């Protein structure tokens, strides 16, 4: 949800001071198991613009090196991801979610194992950037630069069409399946991840979610198609939005649980396009909020932030069926012995967790559709000052958001999802 | 031909009537059960009005329905002019509902479903208590027909003929509109709520009703349901682009009855009610305003298939058989929400002790029974919308011979049934409702 800064702004975050040639050479010698390896050329370029945000800071590295005995240097491209702890407020909150630790563990231990598992299925494919190294001391992750093979960020304002959506669901299903298998083979390795955006340890983001539901209530009040009944329900819902969302995240015995991405929206995938602009491949990035949960978390999040509305409203059933077919096929390829849900069972699980679709539609969708400012200003989202209130109100002036909510709110209401029941 | 046309035509046929005489009359009527004599009727009326000196002046008796209108027994319409002991005369209109007579196949096939005894017990013992519960909370709404007599020996029920009060059967070929659907659902919600409360107050007295269309005692309805489903499969297989759907349907046949039974099984943790069991257009009588043509009121009839179970049994059945096309396809959720509001409120007013589910919880409960929506749309709707009535009778429905197969195939020539299949099948498949692995 919290985006990277604009690429063409003037002020960039400087590269980390410890990221120098000696460091990289030591690293490459170790990783390539070649004590005589030498770096011949190195380009280090900051890639993240400065802003007020708490954000990941990316640094681009292009390294030319000579293996021992080699005549011609090899070139490799990496991204070094570190965190910029600019302000105490933001970093204080994000640290409650253990985002750095989670992502480091994911890149160091988990993603490589998931990659290995997927490599053993009948239709292996690339899901993640390859990890080069995780430096816990510097809280840095070094992985392949996906820009080099041609991966780019998608246009979040357009949202995903059918083809992109299917691609995203295919990748997600494979990640979910591989994770279920990994935890089956190494019990506990993934269930320990329990600091997703909604979790039972902290409600640090509560001001954000609660305030936004309040803005939604005000919007409904002024909206002729919705009006006072919805405004009232949403106002009441503010008190329970955190608890009801946390319930969706709680893994349930007897249901299918897996490692969910936790922030699976259009800005956390990268795409490679062909000549006719058709999407050829997709990789997943940003693993700060992974947790052991129901796939309902990722599916409701994805559909309600990243999928074009016509598809979200009219084709969701068929797309869930597709996701399920890939999930089951992958689980089968990997000889998963645990609980494999039938399509009906998955649907019931999704229905049970459908309150999360409400949360995402009211809150996260507002940031996604926002075309006023490229950055999700964390302070403005969280704080109850005038600037914050104005910013959140501004998010709700977006016409596409409004149109979507006019369609969705009555439907949520019809299923009793806007009711405070306990 | 509409139902009212049919009744009008039958009414025009001259019937045997008995002139009043000094001695006790006893005549035999054509096309009516043989025990339905003028003497019988007089006795029944005397008992009902508590007037031993009541005398019938004349009686007119007709069959009440035509082919394709009722597969559940014999309905006879009775008009009787009678004089009470105080000298006043009145014209009474009644419907006599009795078992299949002379149709041994029907009697044998239906025996395990026990529909006649059940209906009599319901009218005699259960519905009046539900009516009292509504009165308890000040609700005077009439939901079902008043019974004039319950005759256990002849397996017959005599009701007030609602037709005489202006209630008619809506056109089963068109389906109910929003206004009418809501009236029905309002009544249904109250029936369901009162049944749940009654069951609670009477120590689970209604839970023995376990012989609905799908039950754990008999599969005698299998030729009807599977026969229709297979006819649907044959039709679907002819449509370009629908081959995969036909394959899926084909694969479902071996477990079809089991899937149906699971719907009727009690799922722990869910709210249960005494479901009507066969709630569709023909079991709903409507009073239309003479001037505006707007529906004013509704009476629910025919309690032969009542079963204790999920409200889904009635909701999915009603919503997938009895609505106008657009409502059927697009507005079921709204109607369920409307029903639930009244259902839950009535439960609370009656101080129902067990937990009342939230709307979302109810929604999830219905989801576990959603195969019934697919079954009803695919296999039941086309029976009820059938226009080829030449062979529309009990035997054609419940047998497996060529005549029966022809009848079922004919049901799927109806363009409306075809449209339902075409438009709803993809959704059912996408939702995994036709998966072998559910």
**Tens-of-pLDDT digits for all 438 residues of chain B?**
334 344 433 443 433 333 333 444 444 555 678 889 999 999 999 999 999 999 999 999 988 876 555 556 788 899 999 999 999 999 999 989 887 666 778 778 888 888 888 888 999 999 999 999 999 999 999 999 988 888 888 888 998 888 888 999 898 888 999 999 999 999 999 999 999 999 999 999 999 999 999 999 999 999 999 999 999 999 999 999 999 999 999 999 999 999 999 999 999 999 999 999 999 998 999 999 999 999 999 999 989 999 999 999 999 999 999 999 999 999 999 999 999 999 999 999 999 999 999 999 999 999 999 999 999 999 999 998 888 877 778 888 999 999 999 999 999 999 999 999 999 999 999 999 999 999
Parallel, antiparallel, or unpaired for β B273-275 and B156-160? unpaired
What lies within 8 Å, CB to CB, of B184 at 6+ separation is B176, B279, B284, B298, B300, B318, B322
Instruction: Taking residues A357-369, report their average pLDDT.
Output: 92
User: What pLDDT score was predicted for residue B364?
Assistant: 98
When pLDDT is averaged across residues A114-132 and rounded to a whole number, the result is 97
A332 touches chain B (CB under 8 A): no
Phi, psi at residue A86, to the nearest 5°? -70, -45
Nearest-CB residue to A414 (from B333, B427, B438): B333
Distances (CA, A) of A12 to A8, A378, B275: 9, 19, 68
* Closest C-alpha to A407, from A320, A321, A314, A318: A314
Give the CATH class of B127-144+167-430: alpha beta
**Which letter, b or e, does each residue of B6-40 get, where b requires 16 or more Cβ atoms within 10 Å of its Cβ?**
bbeebeeeeeebbeeeeeebeeebeebbeebbbeb
Q: Tell whether A318 is within 8 A of chain B (Cβ).
A: yes
Mean pLDDT of A203-224: 96
Tokens of A343: 């399509």
d(CA A301, CA A309): 13
Can you give the pLDDT at residue A50? 67
Identify which of A309, A277, A328 has the alpha carbon closest to the alpha carbon of residue A170.
A328
* CA nearest to A209, candidates A240, A236, A233: A240
What's the rounded mean pLDDT across residues A387-404? 90
Mean pLDDT to the nearest integer, A156-182: 95
DSSP collapsed to 3 states, A313-349: HHCHHHHHHHHHHHHHHHHHHCCCCCCCCCHHHHHHH
Residue A119 has a pLDDT of 98
Residues with Cβ < 8 Å from B135, sequence gap 6 or more?
none
Neighbouring CB atoms inside 10 A of B254's CB total 10
Q: Are B283 and B188 in contact (CB under 8 A)?
A: no
Residue with more model confidence, A147 or A375 = A147
> How many C-beta atoms lie closer than 10 Å to residue A11's C-beta?
10
Return the closest-CA partner of residue A6 out of A52, A69, A42: A52
Long-range pairs for B107-110: beta carbons < 8 A, 24 or more residues apart: B109/B220, B109/B394, B109/B398, B110/B220
Of A343, A351, A415, nearest to B432 by CB-CB distance is A343
Pick the residue with more confidence: A401 or B63?
A: A401
Out of 2.60.40, 3.30.450, 3.90.1200, 3.30.460, select the CATH number for domain A91-129+158-414.
Answer: 3.90.1200
pLDDT reported for residue A6: 44
pLDDT exceeds 60 at position A3: no
Mean of the pLDDT values across residues A270-279? 95
State the pairing for strand pair A55-66/A38-46.
antiparallel
Q: What share of chain A is helix, strand, coil (3-state, %, to 5)?
A: 45, 15, 40
Residue B7: predicted pLDDT:
40
Separation in Å, CA B312 to CA B113, B181, B269, B318:
20, 16, 14, 9
| Closest residue of chain A to B434, computed from CA coordinates | A344
Predicted confidence at residue A365, as pLDDT, reads 92
Best residue in B430, B433, B434 for a mutation probing chain A (most A CBs within 10 Å): B430
Q: Do B360 and A421 touch (CB under 8 A)?
A: yes
The mean pLDDT of A91-113, rounded to a whole number, is 94
- Radius of gyration over every alpha carbon of chain B, rounded to an integer in angstroms: 22
| B239-248: long-range pairs with CB below 8 Å, 24+ | B239/B422, B242/B422, B242/B425, B245/B425, B245/B426, B245/B429, B245/B434, B248/B429, B248/B434, B248/B435
Closest CA to A269 of A231, A240, A307: A307
Q: What confidence score (pLDDT) does residue B32 get? A: 78
Residue A372 pLDDT level (bands cut at 50, 70, 90):
low
Put simply, whether B84 touches A (Cβ < 8 Å) is no
Instruction: Give mean pLDDT, residues A157-183.
Output: 96
The answer to whether the Cβ–Cβ distance between B337 and A411 falls below 8 Å is no
pTM: 0.90
Question: Hey, where are the domains in chain A?
Answer: 2-82, 91-129+158-414
Which part of chain B is CATH 3.90.1200? Answer: 127-144+167-430
What was the pLDDT predicted at A413?
A: 97
CB contact under 8 A, A347 and B431: yes
pLDDT grade for A369, boundaries at 50, 70 and 90: confident
Q: Is B128 on the interface with A (CB under 8 A)?
A: no
C-alpha neighbours within 13 Å on the C-beta side of residue A301: 26
Q: How far is A61 from chain B (nearest CA, A)?
A: 46
Q: What is the pLDDT of residues A300-343, one digit of tens each?
A: 999 999 999 999 999 999 999 999 999 999 999 999 999 999 99
pLDDT score of A117 more than 50 = yes
DSSP bridge pairs for A258: A293
Which chain A residues have a beta carbon less than 8 Å from that of B433? 344
- Model confidence at A4, pLDDT cuts 50, 70, 90, reads very low
Rounded to two decimals, the ipTM of the complex is 0.89
Q: Residue B280 has what pLDDT?
A: 95
The three-state (H, E, C) secondary structure of B179-240, written as one string: HHHHHHHHHHHHHHHHHHHHHHHCCCCCCCCCCCCCCCCCCCCHHHHHHHHHHHHHHHHCCC
First to last CA, chain A: 29
Nearest to B318 by CA among B403, B133, B192, B134: B192
- For position B114, what pLDDT does the model report? 85
Tell me how crowded residue B90 is: count the other CB atoms within 10 A of its CB: 10
Q: What is the CA radius of gyration of chain A?
A: 22
User: At a CB cut-off of 8 Å and minimum separation 6, what does A232 contact?
Assistant: A217
């Amino acid at each position: 949800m919290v985006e990277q800064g604009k690429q063409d702004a003037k002020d960039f975050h400087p590269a980390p001071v410890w990221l120098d040639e000696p460091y990289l050479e030591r690293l490459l010698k170790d990783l390539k198991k070649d004590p005589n390896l030498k770096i011949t050329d190195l380009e280090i370029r900051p890639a993240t613009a400065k802003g007020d945000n708490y954000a990941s800071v990316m640094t681009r590295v292009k390294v030319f090196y000579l293996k021992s005995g080699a005549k011609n240097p090899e070139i490799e491209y990496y991204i070094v991801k570190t965190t910029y702890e600019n302000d105490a407020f933001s970093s204080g909150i994000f640290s409650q979610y253990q985002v750095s630790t989670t992502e480091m563990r994911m890149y160091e231990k988990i993603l490589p194992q998931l990659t290995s598992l997927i490599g053993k299925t009948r239709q292996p494919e690339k899901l993640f950037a390859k990890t080069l190294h995780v430096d816990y001391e510097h809280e840095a992750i070094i992985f392949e630069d996906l820009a080099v093979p041609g991966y780019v960020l998608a246009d979040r304002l357009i949202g995903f069409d059918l083809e992109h959506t299917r691609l995203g669901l295919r990748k997600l299903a494979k990640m979910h399946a591989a994770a279920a298998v990994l935890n089956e083979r190494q019990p506990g390795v993934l269930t320990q991840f329990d600091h997703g955006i909604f979790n039972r340890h902290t409600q640090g983001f509560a001001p954000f979610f609660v305030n936004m539901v309040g803005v939604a209530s005000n919007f409904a009040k002024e909206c002729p198609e919705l009006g006072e009944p919805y405004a009232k329900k949403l106002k009441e819902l503010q008190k329970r939005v955190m608890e009801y969302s946390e319930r969706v995240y709680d893994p349930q015995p007897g249901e299918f649980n897996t490692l969910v991405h936790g922030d699976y929206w259009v800005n956390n995938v990268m795409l490679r396009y062909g000549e006719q602009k058709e999407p050829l491949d997709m990789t997943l990035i940003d693993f700060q909020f992974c947790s052991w949960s129901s796939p309902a978390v990722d599916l409701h999040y994805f559909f309600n932030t990243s999928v074009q509305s016509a598809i979200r409203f009219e084709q969701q059933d068929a797309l869930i069926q597709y996701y399920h077919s890939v999930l089951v096929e992958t689980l089968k390829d990997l000889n998963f012995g645990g609980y494999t849900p039938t399509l009906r069972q998955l649907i019931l699980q999704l229905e049970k967790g459908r309150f999360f679709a409400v949360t995402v539609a009211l809150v996260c969708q507002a940031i996604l559709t926002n075309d006023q400012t490229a950055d999700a200003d964390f302070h403005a989202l969280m704080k109850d000052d005038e600037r914050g209130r104005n910013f959140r109100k501004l998010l709700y002036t977006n016409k596409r958001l409004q149109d979507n909510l006019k369609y969705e709110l009555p439907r949520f209401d019809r299923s009793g999802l806007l009711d405070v029941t306990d | 031909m509409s139902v009212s046309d049919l009744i009008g035509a039958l009414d025009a046929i001259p019937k045997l009537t008995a002139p009043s005489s000094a001695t006790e009359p006893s005549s035999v009527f054509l096309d009516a059960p043989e025990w339905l004599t003028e003497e019988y009727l007089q006795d029944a009326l005397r008992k009902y009005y508590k007037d031993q000196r009541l005398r019938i002046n004349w009686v007119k008796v007709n069959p009440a329905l035509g082919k394709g209108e009722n597969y559940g027994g014999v309905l006879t319409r009775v008009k009787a002019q009678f004089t009470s002991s105080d000298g006043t005369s009145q014209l009474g209109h009644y419907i006599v509902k009795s078992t299949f007579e002379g149709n041994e196949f029907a009697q044998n096939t239906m025996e395990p479903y026990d529909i006649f005894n059940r209906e009599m017990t319901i009218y005699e013992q259960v519905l009046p208590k539900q009516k009292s519960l509504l009165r308890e909370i000040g609700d005077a709404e009439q939901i079902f027909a008043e019974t004039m007599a319950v005759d256990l020996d002849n397996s017959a029920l005599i009701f007030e003929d609602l037709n005489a009060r202006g209630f008619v059967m809506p056109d089963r070929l068109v389906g109910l509109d929003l206004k009418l659907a809501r009236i029905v659902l309002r009544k249904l919600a109250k029936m369901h709520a009162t049944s749940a409360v009654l069951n609670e107050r009477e120590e689970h007295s209604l839970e023995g009703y376990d012989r609905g269309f799908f039950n754990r005692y008999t599969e005698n309805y299998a030729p009807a349901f599977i026969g229709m489903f297979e006819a649907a499969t044959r039709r679907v297989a002819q449509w370009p682009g629908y081959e995969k759907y036909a394959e899926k349907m084909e694969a479902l046949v071996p477990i079809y009855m089991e899937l149906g039974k699971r719907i009727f099984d009690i799922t722990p943790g869910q709210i249960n009610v005494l479901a009507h069991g066969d709630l569709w257009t023909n079991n709903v009588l409507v009073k239309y305003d003479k001037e505006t043509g707007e529906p004013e009121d509704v009476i629910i009839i025919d309690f032969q298939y009542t079963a204790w179970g999920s409200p889904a049994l009635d909701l999915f059945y009603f919503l997938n058989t009895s609505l106008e096309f657009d409502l059927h396809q697009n507005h079921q959720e709204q109607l369920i929400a409307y029903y639930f509001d009244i259902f839950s409120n009535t439960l609370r007013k009656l101080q129902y002790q067990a937990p009342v589910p939230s709307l979302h919880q109810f929604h999830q409960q219905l989801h576990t029974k959603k195969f019934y929506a697919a079954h009803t749309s695919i296999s039941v709707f086309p029976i009820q919308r059938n226009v080829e009535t030449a062979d529309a009778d009990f035997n054609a429905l419940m047998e497996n011979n060529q005549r029966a197969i022809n009848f079922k195939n004919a049901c799927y020539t109806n363009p409306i049934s075809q449209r339902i299949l075409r438009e709803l099948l993809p959704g059912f498949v996408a939702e995994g409702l036709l998966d072998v692995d559910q």
